[in-house]
Amino acid sequence: EAQVTQNPRYLITVTGKKLTVTCSQNMNHEYMSWYRQDPGLGLRQIYYSMNVEVTDKGDVPEGYKVSRKEKRNFPLILESPSPNQTSLYFCASSPMDRGDYGYTFGSGTRLTVV
Amino acid sequence: GNSVTQMEGPVTLSEEAFLTINCTYTATGYPSLFWYVQYPGEGLQLLLKATKADDKGSNKGFEATYRKETTSFHLEKGSVQVSDSAVYFCALSKGIRAAGNKLTFGGGTRVLVKP
């Protein structure tokens, strides 16, 4: 089954403790992206990657890092999480040559930073 | 820059009522337009899309028509069911060359259908 897999689904952590949210897709998509969803703000792009070793900032990159060492994986790293990063996070992927494709989304990771 | 505006919710309806969710966009050129649906506790799923002016996207009884002249992509369904209760997101993409394949989302509209 074609899918984007995120882990974990739920995470509660303390301020300052580094964490990684993993994302993997099995569709051989070049493009991958991270979004956060907050009430009243919709979805905002954090980082994206157009291919292996090619990443770029989205609209709200502060406090986050990403890497793309393999085509299928695109982890989101919070080096020193803060309470304002409490949010629902989605990873998504799409083929690069299809601007009309839209995205395939993962099921989401609900992060709480206390 | 690109932006999407959709009506704020929540929208509360009775079963079998007619649903309309307004969506307008700001973008140059000819973006692709999408509606995504998010059921409680789940990720976003593509509901329908349209890639050029006057195209109509449809799926699961939902429809939306790409109106270039009014820069709109309103979502409609003639007879909603309780199972249609969800959050609906309108989105646009300018494609790879223009914006790195980025999807720009509206704020989402929560729909609650009561039996």
Of the partner residues B32, B43, B108, the one whose CB lies closest to the CB of residue A105: B43
* CB-based contact B45 A41, cutoff 8 Å: no
pLDDT band at B7 (very low <50, low <70, confident <90, very high): confident
Q: Is there a contact between B83 and B13 (Cβ–Cβ < 8 Å)?
A: no
CA atoms of B30 and A40, how far apart (whole Å): 27
Q: SS3 of A62, please?
A: coil
* CB-based contact A50 B93, cutoff 8 Å: no
What residues does A35 pair with on adjacent strands?
A: A45, A90
User: Which pLDDT value is given to residue A39?
Assistant: 85
Residue of B nearest to A100 (CA): B32
* CB-based contact B96 A99, cutoff 8 Å: yes
Answer yes or no: is pLDDT of A63 > 70: yes
CA atoms of A92 and B32, how far apart (whole Å): 17
β-pairing, B109-114 with B11-14?
Answer: parallel
Of the partner residues B96, B103, B107, the one whose CB lies closest to the CB of residue A103: B103
User: Which pLDDT value is given to residue A78?
Assistant: 97
- Interface list for B 6-65 with A (CB within 8 A): 32, 34, 36, 42-46, 49, 51
CA atoms of B110 and A62, how far apart (whole Å): 29
Q: Is there a contact between A78 and A18 (Cβ–Cβ < 8 Å)?
A: yes
A79-112 pLDDT per residue, tens: 999 999 999 999 999 887 666 777 899 999 999 9
